[in-house]
Structure 1
């Protein structure tokens, strides 16, 4: 039986014959299928210090890709040739943090072992997921350099609360998966960190750019300079984008919002500048809580961050 207007099944979406949306370039991973970008959700936020439903972000950001096209007016290029393979979401345990950390790390390694893609995007979750993810890249790809966009150092002690979304980089440094001289923090915000944690970063040799440093210079120049420095000493570079680096006016859907952060344009330009170099193989996007968002502003910005990374 055929229908003229009735369309049982998936939701009907308007289609313009000349327009390709970004989500149309996404395929589910199957054995033997290859693509340029590997996408994996790390939907865990129970380790968050703030009340958070960031575990819902992978699906929210995926949906946001459907709002945008593959055509760049600024570059006058249509990136329809870029294919994204979606590996789905890693499994998590409802109560066991250590078991979940192990499962997330194993899931990232399984994606890398498939050797189906040349670059990768990980969608958190809170920032705690960066510990197992970066650890997996260290195991599979060698010495990792990290550019971290963040309002916070995320090197809290683990005695006061165990592993949380405030401890991933302390965990990485203390486990040996990351060296202090290979970590660059960008956008660290005033009145948002304890003195002890700034001192800890200094002792570890971490390179820190505060918002005052960003305002005094050019964020794209900072990124390019640090990429060139890291290239001399690491095997692969990983970008870790905590969305609370952005001012609350542009990213209201973060558990730890605050004033005085980056503009959305500064974030997009700096991620694009970093992503141009072939040594950059992965990026995670964390701390988007759809339940706190307004009109999907933060998820849509996260989708644009993905696009700046993907479309070079």
Structure 2
């Protein structure tokens, strides 16, 4: 028999012997491994107040990692030896939002109890997943600080629709899980919020930075200032990245796109600056609807957000 290229045990994808793709460094958590960074998918979008298939985002973001290498030219370092553990996706309830939130909370708690990793990334889903996720981290670490990249306050009232993707921080604040002064919101945009929610944010002492503030001060300077403030009053810091904080030109796959947001470079540089602080232990990435995206632009940007967090 002559030479054959057929081998069902191997992928037909091109492989350069000198290049390691990020997805090649990710291992499925099986119960005893330890790693540097843990990943878990929180594929819930039934609570979105606008039609959204953000539940599909964890898989598309993971797929995006296969397009990029582990080598950082900026840092002159190859991260091919970083240990990344994937805890899989949480199965959501088919109809009950409250049951789904319970499942997400329990699953993040169970992941943290393994103590398998030093830092964790939660892949949403809509922004509603931040409520159970942050609550789980608060129960483990104590007083928690949150930096939120977002066009919206996400402090909507609960009377008009219950817990939705517009209420996670209202739920955390009213539930006394999070203190107002420990929440930083960066990227709040004009004509994206109500006066009542602006008033609520002020009453709760949330540190709010609009896009005009970003234009004047620079997002990296704001992050540095707020990290320095938070480190003296909290036990850990959690990053919550709502991709609709990014201008629609750079993130077309968000349910609530709009002009005047961050550039992709502003988002990546600010996340990297925050992630370099040792008190930053977790990050979620939310509000990507792959069905609305163009050539996975938004999911690939989210993959780079992950990389800035992991390869600090």
TM-score range, shorter chain: over 0.9
Structure 1 counterpart of 2:123: 123
Q: Provide Cα deviations, 1:170-227, integer angstroms capped at 9, x if missing partner.
A: 0000111100000000000011000000100000000000000000112111101101
| Whole-angstrom distance in 2 between the partners of 1:163 and 1:2 | 64
Deviation at 1:2, TM superposition (A): 10
- 1:30 is the counterpart of 2:30: yes
| Whole-angstrom distance in 2 between the partners of 1:163 and 1:297 | 29
Q: Which runs of 5+ in 1 are unaligned?
A: none
What is the RMSD computed on CA atoms of the aligned residues? 1.2
Q: Where do residues 220-235 of structure 1 align in structure 2 (5 Å cutoff)?
A: 220-235=220-235
| Whole-angstrom distance in 2 between the partners of 1:3 and 1:65 | 33
Q: Where do residues 152-301 of structure 1 align in structure 2 (5 Å cutoff)?
A: 152-301=152-301
| Whole-angstrom distance in 1 between the partners of 2:233 and 2:10 | 49
| Whole-angstrom distance in 2 between the partners of 1:2 and 1:74 | 47
Deviation at 1:12, TM superposition (A): 2.0
Q: Provide Cα deviations, 1:61-115, integer angstroms capped at 9, x if missing partner.
A: 0000000011111111111121110000012101011111000000000000000
Structure 2 counterpart of 1:77: 77
Q: Provide Cα deviations, 1:247-291, integer angstroms capped at 9, x if missing partner.
A: 000000000000000000000000000000010000000001100
Instruction: Provide the secondary structure at the position in 2 that maps to 1:66.
Output: helix
| Whole-angstrom distance in 1 between the partners of 2:88 and 2:2 | 34
* Alpha-carbon distance change, 47 to 10 in structure 1, aligned in 2, over 3 angstroms: farther
| Whole-angstrom distance in 2 between the partners of 1:66 and 1:31 | 25
Structure 2 counterpart of 1:40: 40
TM-score by length of 1: 0.98
Q: Provide Cα deviations, 1:115-160, integer angstroms capped at 9, x if missing partner.
A: 0000000000000000000000011111110000000000000100
Q: Where do residues 51-66 of structure 1 align in structure 2 (5 Å cutoff)?
A: 51-66=51-66
| Whole-angstrom distance in 1 between the partners of 2:3 and 2:134 | 51
TM-score by length of 2: 0.98
Structure 1 counterpart of 2:135: 135
* Alpha-carbon distance change, 33 to 249 in structure 1, aligned in 2, over 3 angstroms: same
| Whole-angstrom distance in 2 between the partners of 1:146 and 1:3 | 58
Structure 2 counterpart of 1:303: 303
Deviation at 1:11, TM superposition (A): 4.2
Deviation at 1:4, TM superposition (A): 1.7
| Whole-angstrom distance in 2 between the partners of 1:125 and 1:159 | 22
Q: Which runs of 5+ in 2 are unaligned?
A: none
